[in-house]
Amino acid sequence: MKRWSMIFAAVITILLSNTGEPAAKSSRWGKDYFPNVKVVTQDGKKVKFYDDLIKDRIVLISFIFTSCTDLCPLTTARIAQVVDRLRDEIGKDIFVLSITVDPENDTPDKLRTFANAFYTGPGWTFITGKPADIRAINSKLGNKSDVATQHRNEIVLGNDKTGEWTRNSPFADIENLELAIRDMDPDWRDRRHVRQDALAADHNPHGLTIGREPGQVLFKKICAPCHTVGVTDHIGPDLLGVTDRRDPKWLVEMIMNPARLRANRDPILADLDAKYKGVRMPNLGLSASDASDLISYLASRTVQIEELRAQPEESHLHPTQGGSHHQHK
């Protein structure tokens, strides 16, 4: 097994040890369970934790800290992917909460810069507050450690109306995570079999590995939450042509250990840091062979996209009826 998959397997094992089990079996988590303390949002608004953020809502809760250099940016980027899939419900039926585990350092300003790197729409609140209050909330949600770096990289899903609460992994397939959240809504559960049949038809029991380069599998799982190739700058820069515009050694270092490049005050990274505020490319524990798989994937994908982009030109020579302004001679 490759090193990255071992790291993720380890993370996932920790997560799975809780996944699927209701966090509260008989005792309903609700009004009397959560501290109804005042907390502060990324916009500096003071709100009551239970009354304003939990009451009557379906919520997805994650735990983060803004100076985190490994998993929290990836976790947050994956939640942003789920939020995108739920965009019609976010802020109406479903809400996302990201609670800092480092209230001493995470000011509302820092949270806002971090938040904006991932999402700027409604329905996703980042909160901090008095350290004792935030710790009390985190502890009720199962995060008992006082050390930010030891916080659990898992998410909590809940429906305050029905009193159902469960844990899940941000590294689950995005589709499964989307289903798990929708499942918190009993009305949706009644309608879901239709949808699940549709998903099952698409489901490939062998995962992503069939006929794909190893770099592509890795890219989809841990890079695509932040990067596209040939689409647009997203949470991180678009990577089309990155293998042409950067030195190969630099690329390997950037993929394997961006923190070291930053510590050495690399000028290219300093420029990127200035442009991508609030989020840093995380250290993901990748090996040299993972980096080389990823780089070959980025190079071949670039060629593929450039070829595809060349095609519309050709089709101008043979315009289809009614479609094009170009005149056929």
Residues that bind ligand HEC (CB under 6 A): 73-74, 77, 222-223, 225-227, 235-237, 239, 242, 246, 251, 254-255, 258, 272-273, 276, 279-282, 284, 286, 294
Closest separation in Å from C-beta 259 to ligand HEC: 9
CB 241 within 8 A of CB 302: yes
* 198 or 288: CB nearest ligand HEC: 288
The partner residues of 63 in beta bridges, in order of sequence, read 99
* 210 or 274: CB nearest ligand HEC: 274
Closest separation in Å from C-beta 175 to ligand HEC: 19
Closest separation in Å from C-beta 163 to ligand HEC: 33
How far is the C-alpha of 227 from the C-alpha of 219, rounded, in Å? 9
| Whole-Å CA distances, 304 to 20, 215, 301, 309, 317 | 40, 15, 5, 9, 21
Pairing of strands 38-41, 46-48: antiparallel
How far is the C-alpha of 228 from the C-alpha of 242, rounded, in Å? 11
Closest separation in Å from C-beta 281 to ligand HEC: 3
* 58 or 256: CB nearest ligand HEC: 256
Structure tokens at 18: 């809780």
How far is the C-alpha of 269 from the C-alpha of 259, rounded, in Å? 10
Query: What one-letter code names the amino acid at 302?
Result: T
CB 168 within 8 A of CB 180: yes
* 15 or 223: CB nearest ligand HEC: 223
Closest separation in Å from C-beta 222 to ligand HEC: 5
Closest separation in Å from C-beta 225 to ligand HEC: 5
* 80 or 156: CB nearest ligand HEC: 80
* 36 or 149: CB nearest ligand HEC: 149
Query: What one-letter code names the amino acid at 316?
Result: H
How far is the C-alpha of 221 from the C-alpha of 177, rounded, in Å? 14
How far is the C-alpha of 327 from the C-alpha of 18, rounded, in Å? 63
- CB under 8 A, 24+ apart: contacts of 257-262: 257/283, 258/282, 258/283, 259/69, 259/283
- HSE (side-chain half, CA atoms, 13 Å) at 115: 27
* 167 or 280: CB nearest ligand HEC: 280
The sheet carrying 46-48 orders its strands as 46-48, 38-41, 124-128, 94-100, 58-64, 155-159, 164-168
* 23 or 305: CB nearest ligand HEC: 305
CB 222 within 8 A of CB 7: no
Closest separation in Å from C-beta 220 to ligand HEC: 10
Closest separation in Å from C-beta 74 to ligand HEC: 4
